[in-house]
Amino acid sequence: MVVARSIALKAVNTASLWGLNRSRFGGLPKVQTVRALSTIMSPPSKAVVYEHHGPPDSVTRMIELPPVEVQENQVCVKMLATPINPSDINRIEGVYPVRPQVPAVGGYEGVGEVYSVGSAVKGLSPGDLVIPSPPSSGTWQTYVVKDHEIWHKISKDSPIEYAATVTVNPLTALRMLEDFTTLSTGDSIVQNGATSIVGQCVIQLARYRGIHSISIIRDRAGSDEVKERLKALGADEVFTESQLEVKNVKSLLSNIPEPALGLNCVGGHAASLVLKFLRQGGTMVTYGGMSKKPVTVSTSSFIFKDLSLRGFWLQKWLSADKAKECRDMVDYLLRLAQEGKLKYEMELVPFDKFHSALEKALGKHGSQPKQVIKF
């Protein structure tokens, strides 16, 4: 009892210092001062935290978190890998529409191994490979304690780096291909931002279904190499923006039909190029705005082509009671990754090099692969 009380008191002091409670730092429960010997405790955890919103490279820091109680319906997971996504950065900056209350642990998706389970937990055991599904905040730490319903058990054969990144980007690509228009074998789509993870997934998922894809990339050094890389993934045509400064972009297509669906994550002029390709009655879906410029549409496009403009936000889709559907699709995407039918470039970075990875994710070193933290 003396040992247990000593651990608890140490945890209380540290938790009080950082103001931990259930709603902060990834949902870690409060630590009580009196415990029985049978209480299950998590190991101490290292975490990347931020106490207020601002530039991520300025407001984040790595700290030690104390052991916490694993309550009867909770699971303690030892994290194995977690990515740095643009939405993670936006949450820290305070500009994302949905974000945890500060102070908070960063991160929103990842993969881990069950370390211990509460007494009432069924269906999960130590050693199981799990992901938070739907995603849940607070994954940038070595041990995460959350309710058992958060965790989805996946195949132990799943590639760790893909399991860590499967939910946000690949799932976005899959939903956009399925939710806005009916696509059949032989149809085509057009997209900008094709080098993004979503863009790469769109190309491969479309090819897998027999759908042609036209990709638009920005003009930059090495664009020919980028084109070849995207075509190797399955893109039928890849154009730089300057190549599309012609009166009739559809004349550039050979045996590809006019696209029924366009995907826009850039905005501004790049969005207008997507619209130029669309067929009569086509739909453009906007899911990002990297240029920070608005989408503008000519009056003739609306009147004579009857185009539709839609928006997609994965978080809204996930919040619409889609937990089971989400998990089924995650399993499907992981099977494709395991079979080599879905791939994208990533860089695995040790957790103690987190801030170096963050700088790359912030674009301070030019174009970089997806940064994935490995614990």
Confidence of residue 337 (pLDDT cuts 50, 70, 90): very high
Going by pLDDT thresholds of 50, 70 and 90, the confidence category of residue 321 is confident
Average pLDDT of the residues in 171-180: 97
> How many other C-beta atoms can be found within 10 angstroms of the C-beta atom of residue 27?
20
- Asked if residues 265 and 202 have their Cβ atoms less than 8 Å apart, the reply is no
Pairing mode of beta strands 283-286, 74-83? unpaired
The C-alpha angle 222, 350, 154, rounded to 5 degrees, equals: 95
pLDDT higher than 80, residue 37: no
Three-state secondary structure call for residue 189:
strand
Q: Which of 8-17, 29-38, 134-143, 266-275 shows the lowest mean pLDDT across its residues?
A: 8-17
Residue-wise pLDDT tens digits, 213-243: 999 999 988 999 999 999 999 999 999 999 9
Q: What is the pLDDT of residues 109-119, one digit of tens each?
A: 999 999 999 99
Active site (catalytic) residues: 96
pLDDT digits (tens, 9 = 90+) for 249-278: 888 988 899 999 999 999 999 999 999 999
Calculate the dihedral angle through the C-alpha atoms of 35, 36, 37, 39, rounding to the nearest 10 degrees: -70
pTM (2 d.p.): 0.88
Is pLDDT above 50 for 189? Answer: yes
So what's the pLDDT on residue 35?
A: 46
Which residues make beta-bridge pairs with 350? 374
Domains of the chain (ranges; CATH) run 45-168+345-374 (3.90.180.10), 180-311 (3.40.50.720)
- DSSP designation for 340: T
Two tokens, residue 245: 């400064």
Region 171-194: mean pLDDT is 97
